[in-house]
Amino acid sequence: MKQEKLYKSRRIAGRILSISSIVFLFSCVGASLIYKLSNQPFYFFNTRFDVVLTDSMSAKNDNHLDFLEGHDDQIQAFDFVLSERVHDDTKLDVYDIVIFDNPDIGTDMYRIVEIEDIGETFSLYNIKRNQTYGVEAFAFKDVSSSIFMDTTLMFDSVEIVTYSLNPMDASEYYFNINNQAVDMDIVSTPKGDYYENFLAYHRMDASPSTFSITKRSYEFDSSFASIHLFGGQKECLLLPRLIQNEAHQIVMFNVCQRYRIRGDKAKTDDGWYRRDQIEAKVTHVIPKFGYVARFISSPYGAVLLIGIAMIPILYWLIFEGKERKRHEK
């Protein structure tokens, strides 16, 4: 009775082991072939696997020895690289080695050498923050005051709120889109002893454009509560709390980072890349295992893996046959 139970247990264990081995190995073969044929990277959850095919990260260029001092993590050709998929919350720092989309050659792997913030920027000249009728606002200090958008933004609507002693006169300022003056629709509403003015302008498309406000009249008393540009994928909202009462101030919106990337062996960098162009951050390197990985993903490697997958089946068939004969006796 005990032998019967032991025999059944071995049969079940053998079948489970055989099936598991076959499924695992065939999955590896299938996945590697699919990704190779589709020219797509292979991810296991958030971990990516790549074979290094060039020596661009294999040594330090003499021109960058000072920068690379203490960073001896160079990567050789046919090393096997594990990297983590870059998400919005992934921290990227100078000296990190990353896999990125190079528009000239496709997938590439270099080191981050510099990081800078980019976004839509406004230059404010002689703009001061103040309290107007008990409300936080900002105003033009003198005839040289102006607000210029240094970069372009996709927007189709402009809305501005100001406060003034009298209803706002359209001749107080020039409102410019792409350096062309536009006429704002103005609605002035009395608020006790002052007026709240709502200015609006809408155009038919949200093409990339600039925006600016310059003085038009020597007599003006409006203070600005907000300047809002919107209607595209991004928006800019200039509020009093952003004003620092400096002669020249730059205010940046939609701040994001871009990264300058260079191979350790290279003298010059490959330029600046946005975060969405960086695919993964290298976490581990297995020296020379790339030879094995490339063989496994080749037709010969697939045949070898299939052969290995057959071993548990053959073993189980032989073992079960012997067990059956012995059991029959």
Furthest-apart CA atoms within the chain: distance in Å:
115
pLDDT at position 117, please? 93
Decide if 143 contacts 171 (C-beta within 8 A): no
Which residue stretches of the chain have pLDDT < 50? 35, 38
SS (H, E, C) 273-315: EEHHHEEEEEEEEECCCHHHHHHHCCHHHHHHHHHHHHHHHHH
pLDDT at position 212, please? 97
pLDDT at position 273, please? 94
Taking Cα atoms as reference points, which of 209, 203, 151 lies closest to residue 177? 209
Q: What is the pLDDT of residues 287-298, one digit of tens each?
A: 988 787 776 666
Instruction: Give the whole-angstrom CA distance, residue 258 versus residue 118.
Output: 7
DSSP designation for 242: G
pLDDT at position 107, please? 86
Please list, in sequence order, all residues whose beta carbon lies within 8 angstroms of the beta carbon of residue 44, skipping any fewer than 6 positions away: none
Instruction: Give the whole-angstrom CA distance, residue 96 versus residue 111.
Output: 6
For residue 112, the cross-strand partners are: 261
Taking Cα atoms as reference points, which of 41, 59, 43 lies closest to residue 106? 41
pLDDT at position 192, please? 87
pLDDT at position 151, please? 95
Look up tokens 């409102």; give the residue. 175
Take residue 295 and report the two structure tokens written for it.
Answer: 């063989």
pLDDT at position 312, please? 64
Counting every residue, how long is the chain?
Answer: 329
Instruction: Give the whole-angstrom CA distance, residue 236 versus residue 171.
Output: 24
* DSSP string for 99-158: EEEETTTEEEEEEEEEEEEEEEEEEEESEEEEEETTEEEEEE-STT-EEEE-S-EE-SEE
The one-letter code for the residue type at 153 is: L
pLDDT at position 231, please? 94
Architecture of domain 41-115+254-297 in CATH? Answer: Ribbon (2.10)
